[in-house]
Amino acid sequence: MHAHAVAVPRAASGTRPAAIAIAAATVVSTVFVALDHSGGGTTPPEILAGIARLALLKEVVHGVAIASVCAYAFGYTVLARELGFERPAVLAGLLAYLFGCGALIGATLLDGFVTPHVAIDAAQAAPARVAFAFDLVHYLNIVLNDLSRFGWTAQALAAAAWSLLLVGRSGTRLAGWIGLLSSALMVALMTTSSIRMDMPTLLGVLVAQLLWNLTAAVLLWRGNGVPVRIPAMAG
């Protein structure tokens, strides 16, 4: 009796849960992002009051966003495993992606939890405290924009690293080109946007991420089209 290698589909190695995680996170996060909106107002007290009124909605929307980032981290860790942790580009891409996830979670915590709580705390406060809270919310918004920019750029670079490997495989070449296109669009948006990213920039990010996430989910569902070698016993 001796061991030899047997080819099995990638899906049998556990890639489909990762595919479901990425696809579900993409759909759910897109729906919940659409629910988020501004509280309105023109003066600092009105703006802060509007943010405070939306505190529960923001907590739910951004809580879902954090869960989605965690689902993406799981899904893309599986994709990196399938591409091969022994490849430097794959491992570097995974580290960049996970750093990006950390930055995005930080931005989400600031936007969905810290900012509304600052606004609530400033309710019925003295004018000087309201003015301070308004300035604080303004600068928190700048910080969360920078965190988002860093996170999306890091994830785009990770996708580019993985896509370069996919382009070199006959069964995944189209997916690789989609990943490179998505990454190029993301980097271009991040490098040309202002400190406060406007709606066209955010929509561009949404489209670029949607393309790559759904492509990656399909790859993982199909098992990436590359067999896994596992040991088997033969007489």
Residue boundaries of the structural domains of the chain: 19-221
Mean pLDDT of the chain: 88
Find tokens 């981290």 and name the residue: 73
Q: What is the DSSP letter of 226?
A: -
For residue 40, the one-letter residue type is: G
Is residue 72 within 8 Å of 22, Cβ to Cβ? yes
- Report how far residue 136's alpha carbon sits from residue 144's, in angstroms, rounded to the nearest whole number: 12
Residues 6+ apart with CB under 8 A from 170: none
Indicate whether 221 pLDDT > 70: yes
- Report how far residue 67's alpha carbon sits from residue 21's, in angstroms, rounded to the nearest whole number: 10
Report the pLDDT value the prediction gives residue 10, as an integer from 0 to 100. 47
Range with lowest mean pLDDT among 8-17, 22-31, 39-48, 215-224: 8-17
Indicate whether 172 pLDDT > 70: yes
- 3-class SS string, 69-98: HHHHHHHHHHHHHHHCCCCHHHHHHHHHHH
- Percent of the chain, pLDDT > 90? 73
Q: What are the Cα distances from residue 21, in Å, to 32, 213, 221?
A: 16, 10, 11
- Report how far residue 162's alpha carbon sits from residue 97's, in angstroms, rounded to the nearest whole number: 11
Is residue 62 within 8 Å of 113, Cβ to Cβ? yes
At 92-142, the pLDDT tens digits run 999 999 999 999 999 999 999 999 999 999 988 899 999 999 999 999 999
Tokens coding 230: 């596992």
Indicate whether 5 pLDDT > 60: no
Report the pLDDT value the prediction gives residue 108, as an integer from 0 to 100. 96
Burial annotation 38-71 (CB, 10 A radius, 16+ → b, else e): ebeeeebbebbbbbbbbbebbeebbebbbebbeb
Report the pLDDT value the prediction gives residue 226, as an integer from 0 to 100. 43
- Please state the rounded mean pLDDT for residues 190-197: 83
- Please state the rounded mean pLDDT for residues 13-27: 92
- Please state the rounded mean pLDDT for residues 66-72: 97
2 or 150: which carries more pLDDT confidence? 150
Q: What residues form DSSP beta bridges with 3?
A: 233
Indicate whether 13 pLDDT > 70: no
Find tokens 């900012």 and name the residue: 115
- Report how far residue 172's alpha carbon sits from residue 118's, in angstroms, rounded to the nearest whole number: 48
Q: What is the pTM of this model?
A: 0.86
Alpha helices in the chain (DSSP H): 16-35, 44-53, 55-83, 88-109, 115-122, 127-167, 173-192, 199-222
